[in-house]
Structure 1
Amino acid sequence: MNTGFFFQAYVFITLIFSGTAQYFTDIDAFLWLPFIMTMVMVALVPLQTRYNYEPLDQLETTILVLFTGFFVLAITSTLMQEGLKTTIAGIKNGLGISLLLPCLLLGFCRESQLYRICKKLYWVFYAQIPFVVYQALIVVPARVAFEGKMDSWDSVVGTFGGSMIAGGNGASMGLFTLLIMMMKLSEYKHGVAKLWSVALHIAIGFIICVVAEVKFVTLLAPFFLLYIYIKPSYVKEVRVIDFKTILLSIVGIFILLSLIITILSLGYTSKYQSHSMSIFDIFLQNIGYIFDPTVIVAGLDGNLDELGRVTALAFWSHHSDIHGLVNQLFGYGLNSSNAGGADPGYIAMLFELSLGSTALAIFLWEIGLVGTGLLLAIVFLILKGSKPKPLFSTKDLSRADINLLSYQPAFIGFTIAGLITLPYSPLLALIPVFQFQFYFVLGAMMIIRKATLTKAKGLACLN
């Protein structure tokens, strides 16, 4: 069975077809496709590993046990409190795609297949360009003319889905471009990419993020790129970056950030502000709401009022024990904090508020402190166990090997970025296209880790 071909199809269906089809038809049923593909993968795992199963080491076993506990806890809590129908909806919306991680952990894809899959991610990146151009030049002006400048937010989403009228998953697209920028920079650091190629990919990535107004990625990308460049490698010949280079890079980052802030602020000036304020004041005013613990956004068209990012966490800390300590620890069940759709969650309706403005708030309400702790423990164990160490010489590796190993620092950087989004946006809890990226990267890190341990053991035997 060619699982690599299946996974490549999974990538294109999830990151290109489902979002694009949903965007142009406004049929949300297309968003079931990533979940369905994940369930097919789960069904195929026993067939793939039946004859060539490789035993798990201690770290892999620990992660699998923790994930099983996390998944069973979430399902059991939801079944007991909300019933079968809500459990199925909750798995589809927030939990199902996480099964991608144990599938990769159990050997659904080998490192050679992973290499080809990673190369296909670049084609997904290139596919964003015509869609972003179309949305920026056609959709945004039409939406501004129809609704006004204040309602043009999240109009540029690439192939990641949404609505021409209400916006969509621009943040998921922005984080994907961050992943591609880090992968390409790490390739260059390892000597398998040209400088012009790196510059082109990074320039396109920044342009996409600025046009889509993905502030999180636009502002933090320079720091992540520096992190990737100074990160240790599996390859001994990859030079260590000296202090002078790091210092010059930091200066360059602040110059770049100043330019980015100026561009963003000029955009805000033309949209919302008077011209009497300074550029820096305009920028601070437009991001200040993020850290305000008292923000409540009024609901439109009959929707519930929405708590701000910090407000949502403060509200959980004060009211999460409304049904007792057990619910605070184990959650109120999947979908319980959901304020949208035909069947809103019972906790959202109890408070008559949209509680889930961030993934962290959603996880705390729905799977509790224990479930959230298990998920974070899994991620931190993978990060700790997948750190690159200089184990191999270039004479022991093919170009494809070096290419694949170069992606590990980028995957680590992307995982950290994903963790930072937890108190910032609901991506990891609700958005399938980002859930796929996050859990794929975690699984890919474990595949690369296993491949390096196996190869290092083989070289040790030869010596």
Structure 2
Amino acid sequence: MYKKDFVYKVSASTDSGSQKIFYIIVFAGVVMAMLFGLFAVTANPIIISLAIALLAGTILLVRPTWIIWLILILGLLTGGVIPIFFEHIATRLYWGIALLGFLLMFIAFIQISLSSSMRKGAPTFIWIALGFMVYAVLNSLIQWHSAGEFLTGSKRYFQMWGLLFALCWLVREDLDIRRFRVFLLFVALVQLPFVVYQHIFLGPQKAALGGLSFDVIGGTFGTGIITGGNDAEMAVFLLITLAFLLARQKENVLPINRFILLSPLVVAPLFLSETKAIFIMLPLMFLVLYRYEILKRPHYGLIALIFCLLLVVIMGYIQLDRTHLYMSSSKAGSFSALVENTLSYNVYSQGWSRNFLNRTTVLSFWADNQGIHDPASFLFGNGLGSSHDGTGGHIAKRYPGYGIGLTTVSTLLWDMGIFGLGLFVTIFVLAWCCADRLRRESAMPTVRADAAAIQAAIGLFAFYIFYRIGMLEIVSFQIVFATVLGYLAWLYRRHVLATTDNNDLPK
């Protein structure tokens, strides 16, 4: 009798609990349906994309690797291809990608806050990156100007930093890392057909609008008839990919026949782009990658330098000949005038594009107007987003048309000051040291090769911060930056935990 009563009570209690859960689910479903219905009737693509990203992100909370895949695919392929055909929705798509990036960051922080073992083995540059982010947020809150400036500035700066932390702490399987590497190689290989398409079909449309036909070259890194292409960002990514291929071939990990097959496909888009900085970045990559061979095995290093010089000469001939033809057709002047003009808007006093400042004068202008006569701003800047022209930062409004946020370095100086720039540069310095330790200590040739290639990538990043602002703004390039450093953190943590015989070693 008692047993029957007990079973009945438990059964009744279970049914009651199930009913409560059912009612909660139904209520939540009705509320969500109403909310998403309201989102839909707004007909605002940004709100709708954010709602979809929020729903998908909630489902993916327990699958951070899936979020990484979404970011890589949407950011490096879809986000760059869609603007070719539907340029007006590119910004809305990138908002959704940014939301996924912040969701990934949230998951990573929750994981390491709950598990002390997950924090073990993380390289110092990861903690400096976290410190820079905390400093940027607190510094901007102390110097509060407006909610819009703070939120948009934070979004642009850190929208892909979640990928950096996730690769360090959340990815534990070798298989996932191998798949990411294969995907990134695939992204490098598909640049060629997209660049050819842009050159043949989009270039004439750009020229018909009065622009330069080669301004639309950007592969899958973002391009549009009106906005132009992110050719410099694509070029840096392809050079990094080439560095990985060269480093692996140098360590006899990549067979020579595969290298001969893959490397021309990776390099070919560079011949069609108009990134003049390639003449600096390509030798820089080779010098970093083969610096020891040049000193210890001069004949081996000489072969690499000859190969590099040959590429530079061919690229230079193609680009300069194409530019000369353009200038001749437009009667813009002689070829020597082109060279002089290129130097004038990069090194001398002429402004870049429609700005009063260029990549050199933007630094001297900051020193003159934000120098030691204003110690607080000199040291700590003016807050996130303050120098951004596109969103009307309060410092940018003070200097309309100057382009004070033209490069990553100038933007950091205006926004974060000398102290913030120092923290940001420290990330690269410590990442270099981390990669150097892996290159010296690891017994695995693949790790040594990838560490050497990452050092070449860091060298390119160091040049890039004086060249463009994309590291703080362009989603596709921020993915490259975060993936390279995140992969380095994964390799380093794996190495440290293995040498200390720790059970937290990624499997």
Give the TM-score range, shorter chain. 0.7 to 0.9
Deviation at 1:2, TM superposition (A): 4.7
Aligned residues of 2:149 and 2:385 also touching (Cα < 8 A): yes
**In the alignment, is the contact (CA less than 8 A) between 1:185 and 1:225 conserved in 2?**
no
SS in 1 for 2:215: coil
**1:56 pairs with one of 120, 134, 157:** 120
The one-letter amino acid paired with 2:364 is A
For 2:426, which of 377, 395, 412 is the aligned residue? 377
Letter of the 1:117 partner, please give it: F
- Write out aligned runs for 1:235-384 (5 A): 242-273=297-328, 281=336, 284-285=339-340, 287-297=342-352, 299=354, 305-321=355-371, 324-340=374-390, 343-352=391-400, 353-384=402-433
SS in 2 for 1:82: coil
1:443-458 alignment, distance < 5 Å: 443-458=486-501
Deviation at 1:180, TM superposition (A): 1.3
Distance 1:426 1:392, change over 3 A: closer
Question: How many percent of aligned residue pairs carry the same amino acid?
Answer: 22
Larger mean CA deviation between 404-413 and 11-20 belongs to 404-413
CA distance in 1, matches of 2:77, 2:398: 37
Give me the TM-score of the superposition, normalised by structure 1.
Answer: 0.84
Give the corresponding residue for 1:411. 454
Which residue number in structure 2 is paired with residue 424 of structure 1?
A: 467
The alpha-carbon distance between structure 1 residues 128 and 249, as it changes in their structure 2 partners (threshold 3 A), is: closer
Cα distance change on mapping 1:428 and 1:283 into 2, 3 Å: same
Distance 1:296 1:439 in 2: 31
**Structure 1: which amino acid aligns with 2:399?**
F
Counterpart of 1:227 in 2: which secondary structure?
helix
Structure 1 contact 22–30 (Cα < 8 Å) conserved = no
Residue from 67, 76, 93 that aligns with 2:138: 76
CA contact (8 A) 1:115 1:404 kept: no
Higher Rg: 2
The number of residues matched between the two structures is: 434
SS of residue matched to 1:54: helix
> Which residue, out of 183, 186, 191, partners 1:128?
191
Say if 1:408 and 1:65 are closer, same or farther in 2 by CA, change over 3 A.
closer
**1:36 maps to amino acid:** L
> Residue 204 of structure 2 aligns to a residue in which SS?
helix
How far apart are residue 107 of structure 1 and its match? 4.1
Equivalent-residue separation in structure 2 for 1:111 and 1:178 (angstroms): 25
Give the whole-Å Cα distance in 2 for the aligned partners of 1:276 and 1:428: 33
Q: Is the 8 A contact 1:174 1:209 kept in 2?
A: yes
**What code does the residue aligned with 2:132 have?**
F
Match of 1:162 in 2: 223
Q: Residue 424 of structure 1: SS of its match in structure 2?
A: coil
Distance 1:344 1:244, change over 3 A: same
CA distance in 1, matches of 2:168, 2:214: 38
Q: RMSD of the alignment, in Å? A: 3.0
8 A Cα contact 1:157 1:173, kept in partner:
yes
Which range moved further: 383-392 or 422-431?
383-392
Q: Conserved in 1, the CA contact under 8 Å of 2:347 and 2:361?
A: yes
Summarize deviations over 1:388-444 as a string: whole Å, max 9, x none: 345455xxx6xxxx5455322212211210111111111212212111211221121
Normalized per residue, the structure richer in helix is: 2
Residue 186 of structure 1, CA deviation:
1.8
Letter in 1 for 2:376: V
2: CA distance, partners of 1:65 / 1:253? 36
2:79 and 2:420 map into 1 onto residues whose CA distance is 29
2 CA distance for matches of 1:64 and 1:390? 20
AA of the residue aligned to 2:203: V
CA drift of 1:370 comes to: 0.6
What are structure 1's unaligned runs of at least 5 residues? Answer: 233-239, 300-304
2:151 to 88, 93, 99: 88
Q: Aligned pair in 2 of structure 1 residues 147, 244: CA closer, same or farther (>3 Å)?
A: same
